[in-house]
A and B are shown apart, each in its own frame.
Chain A
Amino acid sequence: MSEDFPSTKFDRGKIFAKTGLKLGTNYAKRYLKKSVGKSESKDETREFHSANAKQVFNEFTKLRGTALKIAQSLSMDQGMLPDEFADVMSQAQYSVPPINKALARSLIKKELGDYPENVFQSFSSEAIAAASIGQVHRATLKSGEEVAVKIQYPNVRNTIESDLGLAKTLLKRFIKKGADLDEYFDEVKKTLLEETDYRQEGEYIEHFHDRFSDGKYVTPTWYEGLSTQKVLTMSFIKGRHLKEFLSENPSQDERNHFGQLLWDFFHDQVEQRNFIHADTHPGNFLFMEEGSLGVIDFGCVKKFPESFTRKYMQLLPTHLEQDEDEIRRLYMELGIIKSDPDDPKKEEEFFSFCKNYGNTFAKPYKADEFDFGDPGFKKKINSFAKQPPIMNEPRGNKNFIYSTKVHLGLYSLLMKLEARVDTRRSKEITGKVLGEMEN
């Protein structure tokens, strides 16, 4: 059962400390083993990380709320963690144990003024999805429409500040002394405050529904009258998640079809130069029977400043053209490399690493078609995420937190799908948008 929602700073701090202590003990044991000369096989290393990952998962899912989000935003998405950790963190994004049925019922009464059986024609007390800050229930309106009702866990908004403080303390252990994390934390805080305001999410749902409701993509509609800051009612979209879809052994054509839709959805958003769905993970996309792509969860939506977007997008043609001077200039402007580094040799090594990473990232745009099922590509992308030469220093514009989340998330989905996508239109879009921004 998941009854406990540790909401006080003490409770939540205790969980951080407990996790740290457990991991510390595990690392100490491993160190001891190594120091007495016992070597470790690859399998043993994997096992070691898996065991630790499970412990982290158990403790972090208890935290629910913002701590889980922070951990995901600041570690997993930056590829700093071993695969096993990234997997459990990603799992936690949409499979946290649900809260007690009575609590969910009472929250509905508190927010919507009456119990679910009186507000809805039917309401399933079992959550269909439980994530870091809320859980989703299926219901039917009195008018017969099928809806999804998202309920926010109690006190989540109040824990943002203390969770960020705890996460900062924890992160400072791994980060170079004196490195400034404030800019990144402010960005995460701003996003978390927005994500915990379901009225705001409702407005984003409407906004995206206006932009993407042509049948190629399906997005929900918002029921404003049945929504508050902590309860969100939206139309129900029926479809399979990636895992379910893949378990059906889809044909290559089916994989390519949905892969193309995911690729196009990203580039259509770029083309419109408007808000971007910034939570690209498997739980937020549905593979529908009729072939449409369902897009759900509009809590994390971003509109990047044009100055950042322009430079970020310029990275693509400069990498494709291998214009090293221009790449260096853009990296500097985006805060990836420093003009006056403490260690020039290490900085050059870092530049070279980023350039190679960028080249790999730009690869899908090189030809007219790209195969995300290519194991070499997957291996390369993953190895880049694991071996940056500078790991203990935050680098890059704060907007990278979410732009990489979108871009890496998309690549990760396409690699899991092993889809072949046609990239011709996306190249045209990129060129067109860059042209518009420069004029």
Chain B
Amino acid sequence: MVIDTEGLSFNFGKQAVVKSLSLKVPEGSIYGFLGPNGAGKTTTIKLLMNLLKTDEGNIHIFGQELKSNRVKILSQIGSLIEQPAIYLHLSGKENLLNRALLLEIPAKRVDDMLDLVHLTSAANKKAGQYSLGMKQRLGIALALLPDPKLLILDEPTNGLDPNGIIEVRELMLRLVKQQQKTVFISSHLLAEVERMASHVGIINNGELLFQGSINELQALNQPQVQIEAENTVDAANLLKRNDFTVTEIDDEHIFVPFTSKQKMGEINSLLNKNGYTVYSINKQQKDLEKLFLAITQSA
């Protein structure tokens, strides 16, 4: 495991913000750390970066205990926490040169990074004049500058346009595939990370509600039968009287958990026999976004 925490807890005063978190981030993975706003994602990231003092539990990164190997571990991590930390009176290039000076990185890599995040033409413009998306890209360049083994990115697509989001996604996939990096990326939008994450952790109110591969998350996702019929309320009551579970009803649809094709046929004939016209009936997979909401809201 690249990141391995056990019983990690943190309180702001009396309020428990992170509760007994056990994160397992495998090497070479893109780990999507998901949760609604205020769930404890940024606090967890700050604990991983040793910016906040752990109240309970321990953190191992690259198999080493964080507190006693802080400098050694941090030398292999590139991070972007909350909004990018940028000196607004310096140009984008100067921000990168300053970081390169601190980390003893050749200036040539600064130009490569500017190129990578498409900021070459704005390199000498003051960062204070950058748009939110440009600042975010500069933040990503700062995180990538030391060529770290582990990238920790806190909501990196904030402020990016759809093209920018796709670019970040492709960049992350490339880094993992071609350079065997590990990426830990937080977001409040499942749709944003489901296309790139190999592993997912879902946090809400400081508690880890789910952790596993994206396939394991999919497996949680039970298929359902969507029935389009007239008079859905009465039709749903009929199904209930006949021992079918109805999970959701709206003006046009009834949703029933999928068990088998035969049961789908039974539903269809039952409704038709009782005078309810069925316009369509099909097996449907709940999208992950709904699953994410279901997990975070049921907690």
Asked if A and B are interacting partners, one says no
Task: Please give the residue numbers on chain B whose beta carbons come within 8 Å of chain A beta carbons, in ascending order.
Answer: none
Task: Please give the residue numbers on chain A whose beta carbons come within 8 Å of chain B beta carbons, in ascending order.
Answer: none
